[in-house]
Structure 1
Amino acid sequence: MKTNENKKVDDFIKELKDSSFFRTLTPQKNRDGIYYADIKFARYTHLIYAVQDLLKIALHTLENSGLENSSQIEDPTFHLTSILEIAVQLLPCSEAEGLDSLHELYLEILNDQESKNDKTDNV
């Protein structure tokens, strides 16, 4: 009897693995109870616009009373926390450091070009 139940469980697990079920959340290694979901963006600009849209939704919720929000969402301020948590997770903070470095490089190149132009103008 026990073997038959184990086979049913094993068959059920195999069926789930082979199916398209439970593909959205992936367990995070070394952290029990924590899962992640992949969100795909074609470019950083698309990511930034998605974060911007989430923040706009949050602002709309904060600025309008419950009566002025969509009647399809009951108590929209309750959902505000999850929207803001998603926006925070999507912010490309490490990439921002790269943008700072690129900006510094741009300013250096600009200063070098201006210095060369000033020397050329003085000659």
Structure 2
Amino acid sequence: METNENKKGDDFIKELKSSFYFRTLTPQREKEGIYHADIKFTSYIKLIYTIQDLLKIALHTLENSDLENSSQIEDPSFHLTSILEIAIQLMPCSEAEGLDKLHKLYLEINSENKNEKMDN
């Protein structure tokens, strides 16, 4: 026989599963205790500008004393670590490798075009 306390707990769990609660963090399958949150961007340039803004905030914090920072944030330098961690996670490193390959290809094509013009 199910106790009233267990039934309340089970009902609460069912409600949580069918609701919109706890949707921001998703557990990683490979690592216990690690979660991820989705951040959506409309383009790579928006992503890069967001990273740039985070780094500007970090620089501002490093360059200014606590008195010159917003009074709404107590001890801004304490929060600097989390800002930098977010910026690192957002960096599109694998895409940068693709950009390097595209740049190399561009240089090769450009060089070939110059050589063709010289031959003509």
Where on the TM-score scale, by shorter chain, does this alignment land: which range?
over 0.9
1:56 aligns with 2:56: yes
Q: 1:78 corresponds to which residue? A: 78
The alignment-based identity, stated in percent, is 73
The 5 Å alignment of 1:1-123 reads 2-120=2-120
The two structures have a TM-score, normalised by structure 2, of 0.95
Q: Distance in 2 between matches of 1:9 and 1:110?
A: 68
Describe the SS at the equivalent of 1:31: coil
Q: Distance in 1 between matches of 2:76 and 2:101?
A: 39
Return the offset for 1:3: 4.4
Describe the SS at the equivalent of 2:32: coil
Return the offset for 1:63: 0.2
What is the letter of the counterpart of residue 51 of structure 1?
I
> Structure 1: any 5+ residue segments left out of the alignment?
none
What is the letter of the counterpart of residue 86 of structure 1?
I
Q: Distance in 1 between matches of 2:29 and 2:39?
A: 18
Q: What is the CA deviation profile of residues 22-72 of structure 1, one whole-angstrom value per residue up to 9, with x for unaligned ones?
A: 110000002111000000011111110000000000000000000000000
Tell me how large the CA RMSD over aligned residues is: 1.2
